[in-house]
Amino acid sequence: MTDSNDITDIGVEARALVRASPVATLATTLPVEGDATGWPYASLALVATDFGGAPLLLISDLAEHTKNIVANARVSLLYDSIPDAPERLAGTRLTLLGRAVRTDDAAALARYLARHPEAEAYAAFADFGLYRIKVERAHLVAGFGKILWLKEDTLTVSTAGARRLADAETAILAHMNTDHAEAVQDYATRLLGLEPGPWVLTGCDPEGCDLRAEHRASRLTFNTPISSPEEARKALAALATDAKGG
């Protein structure tokens, strides 16, 4: 039986995977034609997350998957932790189920564009829309003894007590990427063991930070959750000290 501590750890792992992934496999359902049932339709999609961890999609009205979503909002997203590894099935993967809802949330769009700056070229086009996935559950495969279904409240975090942090996120990112660029590189290379960038922070939420270097993306988790700009400053400073070796 999985105890509450295990569920907490598994939830952190699942959320980190979703936040770290710049690309996921999106499954939608083709509209019913005649007497035929709707066929599943899979495609690749660039993904990001909102402040609470809900997946975001920026997709064209002309795309088949968008047409499918308009007819049936139920979707599935497959996240893979090691897309370039020789043994793909050895890594953690998560199949997330939810409903795609179009949104005009400017903060969510800013988070998406920070993760995918190339999308700036078409984000303002009239035929592109931002969709937030209202997560309902997910299936996690993370090794022996860690194959289970997770509920919605395990897959996203409450942001009720972190409003000030959310409001300050853009300023925190600008400050770190401009004034502490060396520390950001150290986060990636020394703490996460990644190849040199240039790395930038693209998101800061209660559980950690998102990083990007061109087409690569990763996730840095805080030692303890935070809820304010002041706590973010302390957490980021502590990580910078850790990266320097004490």
What domains are defined for the chain? Answer: 4-155 (2.30.110.10), 163-243 (3.20.180.10)
Residue 146 has pLDDT above 90, yes or no: no
Alpha helix segments (H runs only) across 96-245: 106-115, 120-123, 152-155, 163-179, 181-186, 229-243
Residue 1 has pLDDT above 50, yes or no: no
What contacts 181, CB < 8 A, 6 or more positions away?
198, 200
Q: What is the mean pLDDT of residues 13-19?
A: 94
Length of the chain as a residue count:
246
CA-nearest of 15, 160, 5, 168 to 94 is 15
Q: What is the mean pLDDT of residues 9-15?
A: 90
Q: What is the mean pLDDT of residues 26-39?
A: 83
Per-residue pLDDT, 93? 93
Per-residue pLDDT, 132? 98
Residues 159-200 pLDDT 10s = 889 999 999 999 999 999 999 999 999 999 999 999 998 999
Residue 241 has pLDDT above 80, yes or no: yes
Q: How far is it, in rounded angstroms, from Cα 101 to Cα 74?
A: 10
Predicted confidence band at 8 (pLDDT cuts at 50, 70, 90)? low
Per-residue pLDDT, 4? 44
Residue 2 has pLDDT above 50, yes or no: no
CB neighbourhood size of 131 (10 A): 22
The pTM assigned to this predicted structure is 0.91
Question: 131 pairs with which residues across the strands?
Answer: 57, 102
Q: How far is it, in rounded angstroms, from Cα 94 to Cα 97?
A: 10
Residue 23 has pLDDT above 70, yes or no: yes
Per-residue pLDDT, 36? 66
